[in-house]
């Protein structure tokens, strides 16, 4: 039964170009439509238009019918009777989407009361039931807590409880898991699935993550520049994409499953903010198979496969074989280098500790404990090698990076850069050493001074060290990171996200460092842009022999770029080793759980996977569990006998090698590793 | 919460002592009560002047430290000394405080409540006629000094009285003599008090409204597009209800801080109002005391004002805790 019918929906903000142009789809009961697209493709405008929550200056035309009832053009009063009852919404950021001053139970009860007119006690009782349904332990007690007392994943569960409070006919979920860690994302998607089964609602799931859609949605609609460029059943579209944009998106994804498979092909250029000049297909400037017929007018969707698989492309003949559309870039040649053991060590960290005192109370500050942000980690990075630090948010990976960047005496342990112990450095020597250690930050939108031109930003490191930038150096650097000389005169706001991140990299490279610290350098970028920046980083490492310390939460990205990987949990490294070993034979249950939680962008593989979801959230960082810190969430610990479990409870595991093989360097801190890989053990 | 309040109070006690002592020392150094005898004819003999000043602990020939010690010992026993006329300061202080509180509290409460509502309303109607009108009005009020406003209101009231041919508005003093003995008895007295209170209340309320509405408008604009307001609408609340239930409460939180600061303005405004409307409250007394060199009175009023500001600060902290659960749990943890 078709519940939600959208036809020819167009959203126009007063002066500018339309954000959504003529989008249409149907969603049936119990069906999930995944809407994917990059930032600026109009996904969120589409979601808000459906529920009528766009800002007042937006103009909506077209039709949205819920069970045959037209929603477009209704007044706020009429829509408010439908919103929350028949049509519910889950928003992206659970940190800001709940009112901070009201208890969550009351916020859910309010949703019940508005539509049913129930009494407060009855509505509160229903709220507790709902909280229980979405898996919040101790629901009756937690209902009285305010949002700040919940973790991100728990807040998103509250949002879902609120959405299903009145058994809605349809739920619109706008990036419901984007702000969450992968392990928590898996939990929340399970809750959403349970909610769907409990209510039989039609779900529109808006996301940029093709992996989430692969595992969760039945049908997919790909949006580009406000238009639905391809739609159809998920399996069909993933297997035989026909619109070049979809092909590019799918190919540009870093994939963990396929080791050694073809390198992802970047869809170059930024997503255009406005459709191409002179009308016609908006993807034309980036399209490798564009023909003359692409100009003129927007291509209409045509049927290209079974079960209503449509693609809005003129040249579908050229996309019959999706693999041939984007020319595969030549693999970056990796110059022969001596084996790892013989290469010089660039960075050596041993027993590094960073504890933060924690103060509570804004009125009356007092010491409430210590956050063990980094609690004794050690590793080394050698020339021309990438070590990735991965883990959930709050595991201490960025703190570790910042502690290294300080080049000062750590609270405990030691940091040695190029053989020099940072604790023993004099200020002048420390400043000189900074030339060899540079950093690239996560957010390209805030890490560049908006009032400086690109050329000045890139030349600033020279000025900081009292040098003059050699003639032509800025141009050389721009060329190195794949920017045009014309970009030198621009301000950061005139660049796209990917271009800005390239400027950030050029600035870091200006002084020819030996070690580059990268803090989530691609996390803020769209997938198609990510691929280009990662190619750049890989190429630079191979050509210049720089060592990278790469902090990331995205395991697929790490798999793509890193040589070695260190998995962090609550300030400790729980497993470290070469990427092939750690991804291929994870020894620590936490590594296994992290890998399991990453959704694969392949519907068949994704649905076939059996996974053991990680339970719960990170424990309180001021009071880690005694013995093994991962114990409270460990699926392996839960299955152990009493004797084996006691070791986990009483002894803090130290990292030890997982193999006696000389070539292997996989270490894990676990009493009961999953697979003692290799010959020994 | 109780422990927190106790520690807060201890802090405040130290602050109040420091503020009052500084006020006393400043007044004792700067004011010159001896000059009051200069224009007396015949000028009393020096020894008589000295004796009188010494009795009031105002003699500038006694060392400052000794005078301060005498004064502080008195204050510790709850005695602020004597006024120039030789009457105890305490009795007069309480009487005047009562007058000031009666004068200012209705205006302050009305002004802050209306100001918050008008500010919130202006934010919701941002850019439309209502918002522009409120914005213009509050800027106009902010630009007009309190005493000018008071006089303008009196002129308007006088015209209104003339036009109606009856003496509806009254603006001199707190009561008309004999009102409580009229045909309506005590009720008539009360009505007469209300009549006298009307114009000062309007004056104070208007200045307060102007301040509060500006602040509240800015705060409300911040939450107008907040995600949680959108969530509330997605639940099925209408736009205005969502803003009132979810937006306003959140937007009120920073206002509590401002509440403490605005107390100073209120006291200042009250002073002008007393002068303009002929009320014999604290403000009028302070002005007289300064011109007469009455150090004890100045110090006593300063002490009271310091306590008032600190009490307002405490009230704003408590209010903050009541409105914002994030602070509450932080203090309790």
Q: What is the CATH number of domain B94-292?
A: 1.10.3720
| pLDDT value at residue A168 | 92
| pLDDT value at residue A297 | 80
Q: Which residue has tokens 């950093």? A: A439
Q: Which residue has tokens 């990278």? A: A548
| pLDDT value at residue A221 | 95
Cβ contact A98–B231 (<8 Å): yes
| Residue B179 pLDDT grade (very low, low, confident, very high; cuts 50, 70, 90) | low
| pLDDT value at residue A271 | 47
Separation of alpha carbons A408 and A260, rounded Å: 40
Separation of alpha carbons A477 and A485, rounded Å: 10
What is A600-642 written as a DSSP string? Answer: PS-HHHHHH----PPPS-PPPTTSPPSSSTTGGG-HHHHTS-H
| pLDDT value at residue A268 | 53
End-to-end CA distance of chain A: 58
Tell me the domains of chain A and their CATH numbers: 2-224 (3.40.50.300)
Query: Smallest CA–CA separation between A165 and chain B, in Å?
Result: 9
Q: Which residues of A touch B323 (CB under 8 A)?
A: 101
Cβ contact B237–A360 (<8 Å): no
Separation of alpha carbons B254 and A184, rounded Å: 33
The beta-carbon neighbor of B235 closest among A93, A149, A162 is A162
Nearest chain B alpha carbon to A78: B238
Global pTM?
Answer: 0.80
- Residue from B11, B12, B223, B231 whose CB has the most chain A CBs within 10 Å, to mutate: B231
| pLDDT value at residue A529 | 82
Task: Give the model confidence (pLDDT) of B291-318 as tens digits.
Answer: 888 888 999 988 888 888 888 888 888 8
Cβ contact A97–B227 (<8 Å): yes
User: Chain B within 8 Å of A77 (Cβ-Cβ)?
Assistant: yes
Tokens (6 digits) for A301: 């969707």
| pLDDT value at residue A677 | 43
User: Chain A within 8 Å of B126 (Cβ-Cβ)?
Assistant: no
Cβ contact A80–B323 (<8 Å): no
Task: Profile chain A (681 residues) by mean pLDDT over runs of 10 residues.
Answer: 91 80 92 90 90 87 92 90 92 86 93 91 94 88 89 89 92 88 86 89 92 92 91 92 89 68 52 54 82 82 88 84 74 75 91 84 64 90 93 88 91 92 90 92 87 92 88 89 88 86 92 92 83 87 91 90 93 92 91 88 84 77 85 88 88 87 84 63 36
User: Chain B within 8 Å of A149 (Cβ-Cβ)?
Assistant: yes
Which 3 state secondary structure label does DSSP give A202?
A: strand
pLDDT tops 80 at residue B1: no
Nearest chain B alpha carbon to A147: B326
The beta-carbon neighbor of B324 closest among A80, A101, A111 is A101
Q: Which residues of A touch B327 (CB under 8 A)?
A: 361-363
Question: Cis (ω within 30 of 0) for the bond into B42?
Answer: yes
Tokens (6 digits) for A285: 């400037």
Mean pLDDT of B213-219: 92
Q: 10 Å Cβ neighbour count for A412? A: 13
Q: Are B232 and B246 in contact (CB under 8 A)?
A: yes
Separation of alpha carbons A355 and A352, rounded Å: 10
Cβ contact B227–A102 (<8 Å): no
Cβ contact A362–B327 (<8 Å): yes
- Characterize the bridge pairing of strands A667-668 and A572-578: antiparallel
* Residue extent(s) of CATH 1.10.3720 domains in chain B: 94-292
The beta-carbon neighbor of B234 closest among A88, A146, A363 is A88
Task: Give the model confidence (pLDDT) of B73-126 as tens digits.
Answer: 988 888 888 888 888 888 888 998 888 888 888 888 899 999 999 999 999 888
User: Chain A within 8 Å of B329 (Cβ-Cβ)?
Assistant: yes
Tokens (6 digits) for B224: 């107008």
**Dihedral angle sign, alpha carbons of residues A604, A610, A614, A616:** positive
Question: How many Cβ pairs within 8 Å bridge chains A and B?
Answer: 104
Tokens (6 digits) for A292: 């003359």
User: Chain B within 8 Å of A102 (Cβ-Cβ)?
Assistant: yes
Q: Is A75 left (phi over 0), alpha (psi -120 to 50) or beta?
A: beta
Structure letter (DSSP) for residue A36:
E
User: Chain B within 8 Å of A69 (Cβ-Cβ)?
Assistant: no
| pLDDT value at residue B4 | 67
């Amino acid at each position: 039964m078709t519940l939600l019918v959208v036809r020819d929906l167009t959203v126009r903000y007063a002066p500018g170009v339309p954000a959504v142009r003529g989008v249409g789809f149907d969603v049936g009961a119990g069906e999930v439509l995944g809407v994917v697209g990059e930032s600026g493709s109009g996904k969120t405008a589409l979601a808000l238009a459906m529920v009528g929550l766009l800002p007042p200056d937006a103009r909506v035309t077209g039709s949205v019918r819920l069970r045959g009832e037209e929603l477009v053009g209704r007044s706020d009063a009429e829509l408010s009777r439908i919103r929350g009852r028949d049509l519910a919404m889950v928003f992206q950021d659970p940190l800001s989407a709940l009112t901070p001053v009201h208890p969550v139970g009351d916020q859910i009860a309010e949703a019940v009361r508005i539509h049913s007119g129930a009494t407060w006690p009855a509505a509160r009782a229903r709220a507790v039931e709902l909280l229980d349904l979405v898996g919040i332990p101790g629901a009756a007690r937690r209902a009285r807590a305010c949002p700040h007392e919940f973790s991100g994943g728990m807040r998103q569960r509250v949002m879902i409880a609120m959405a299903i409070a009145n058994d809605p006919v349809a739920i619109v979920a706008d990036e419901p898991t984007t702000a969450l860690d992968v392990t928590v994302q898996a939990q929340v998607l399970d809750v959403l699935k349970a909610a769907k089964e409990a209510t039989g609602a039609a779900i529109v799931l808006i996301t940029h993550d093709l992996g989430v859609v692969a595992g969760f949605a039945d049908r997919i609609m790909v949006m580009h520049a406000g238009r639905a460029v391809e739609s159809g059943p998920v399996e069909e579209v993933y297997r035989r994409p026909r619109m070049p944009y979809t092909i590019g998106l799918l190919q540009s994804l870093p994939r963990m499953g396929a080791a050694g498979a073809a390198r992802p092909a970047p869809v170059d250029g930024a997503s255009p903010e406005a459709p191409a000049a002179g009308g016609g297909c908006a993807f034309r400037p980036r399209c490798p198979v564009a023909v003359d017929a692409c100009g003129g007018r927007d291509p209409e969707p045509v049927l290209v496969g079974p079960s209503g698989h449509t693609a809005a492309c003129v040249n579908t003949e050229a996309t019959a074989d999706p693999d041939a559309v984007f020319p595969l870039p030549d693999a970056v040649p990796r110059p022969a280098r001596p084996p790892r053991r013989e290469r010089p060590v660039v960075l050596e960290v041993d027993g590094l500790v960073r504890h933060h005192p924690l103060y509570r109370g804004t009125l009356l500050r007092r010491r409430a404990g210590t956050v063990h942000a980094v609690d004794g980690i050690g590793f080394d990075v050698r020339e021309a090698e990438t070590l990735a630090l991965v883990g959930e948010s709050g595991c201490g990976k960025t703190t570790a990076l910042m502690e290294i960047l300080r080049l000062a005496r750590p609270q405990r342990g030691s940091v040695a850069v190029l053989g020099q112990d940072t604790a023993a450095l004099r200020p002048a020597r420390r400043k000189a050493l900074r030339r060899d250690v540079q950093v690239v930050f996560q957010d390209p939108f805030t890490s560049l001074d908006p009032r400086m031109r690109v050329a000045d930003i890139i030349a600033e490191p020279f000025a900081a060290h009292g040098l003059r930038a050699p003639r032509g150096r800025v141009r050389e650097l721009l060329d190195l990171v794949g920017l045009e000389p014309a970009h030198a005169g621009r301000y950061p706001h005139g660049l796209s996200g990917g271009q800005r991140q390239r400027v950030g990299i050029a600035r870091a490279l200006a002084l020819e460092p030996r070690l580059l610290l990268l803090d989530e350098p691609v996390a803020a970028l769209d997938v198609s842009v990510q691929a280009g920046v990662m190619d750049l980083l890989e190429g630079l490492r191979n050509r210049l022999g720089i060592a990278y310390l790469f902090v990331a939460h995205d395991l697929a990205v790490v798999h793509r770029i890193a040589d070695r990987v260190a998995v962090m949990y609550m300030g400790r490294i729980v497993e470290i080793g070469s990427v092939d070993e750690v991804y291929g034979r994870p020894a620590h249950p936490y590594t296994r759980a992290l890998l399991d939680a990453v959704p694969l962008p392949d519907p068949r593989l994704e649905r076939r996977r059996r996974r053991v979801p990680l339970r719960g959230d990170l424990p309180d960082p001021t009071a880690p569990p005694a013995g093994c810190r991962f114990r409270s969430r460990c699926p392996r610990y839960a299955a152990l006998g009493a004797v084996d479990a006691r070791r986990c409870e009483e002894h803090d595991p130290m990292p030890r090698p997982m193999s006696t093989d000389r070539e292997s360097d996989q270490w894990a801190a676990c009493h009961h590793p999953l697979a003692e890989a290799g010959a020994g053990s | 919460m109780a422990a927190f309040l106790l520690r807060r109070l201890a802090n405040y006690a130290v602050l109040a002592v420091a503020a009052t002592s500084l006020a006393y020392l400043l007044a004792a150094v700067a004011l010159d009560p001896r000059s009051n005898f200069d224009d007396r004819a015949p000028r009393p003999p020096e020894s008589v002047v000295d004796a009188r000043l010494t009795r009031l602990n105002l003699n500038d020939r006694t060392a400052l430290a000794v005078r301060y010690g005498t004064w502080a010992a008195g204050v510790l026993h709850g005695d602020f000394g004597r006024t120039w006329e030789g009457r105890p300061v305490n009795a007069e202080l309480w009487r005047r405080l009562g007058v000031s509180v009666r004068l200012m509290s209705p205006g302050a409460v009305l002004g802050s409540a209306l100001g918050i509502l008008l500010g919130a309303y202006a934010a919701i109607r941002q850019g439309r006629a209502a918002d522009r009108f409120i914005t213009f009005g509050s800027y106009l009020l902010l630009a007009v000094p309190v005493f000018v406003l008071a006089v303008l209101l009196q002129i308007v009231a006088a015209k209104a009285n003339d036009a109606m041919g009856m003496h509806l508005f009254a603006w001199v003093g707190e009561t008309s003599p004999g009102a409580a003995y009229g045909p309506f008895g005590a009720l008539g007295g009360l009505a007469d008090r209300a009549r006298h209170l009307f114009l000062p209340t309007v004056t104070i309320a208007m200045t307060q409204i102007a301040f509060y509405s500006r602040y509240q408008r800015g705060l409300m604009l911040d939450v107008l597009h907040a995600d949680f307001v959108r969530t509330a609408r997605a639940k099925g609340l209408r736009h205005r209800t969502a803003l009132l239930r979810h937006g306003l409460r959140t937007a009120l939180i920073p206002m509590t801080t401002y509440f403490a600061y605005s107390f100073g303005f209120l006291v200042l405004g009250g002073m002008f109002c007393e002068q303009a409307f002929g009320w014999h409250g604290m403000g009028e007394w302070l002005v007289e005391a300064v011109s007469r060199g009455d150090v004890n009175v100045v110090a006593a009023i300063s002490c009271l004002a310091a306590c008032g500001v600190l009490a307002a600060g405490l009230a704003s902290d408590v209010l903050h805790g009541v409105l914002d659960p994030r602070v509450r749990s932080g203090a309790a943890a």
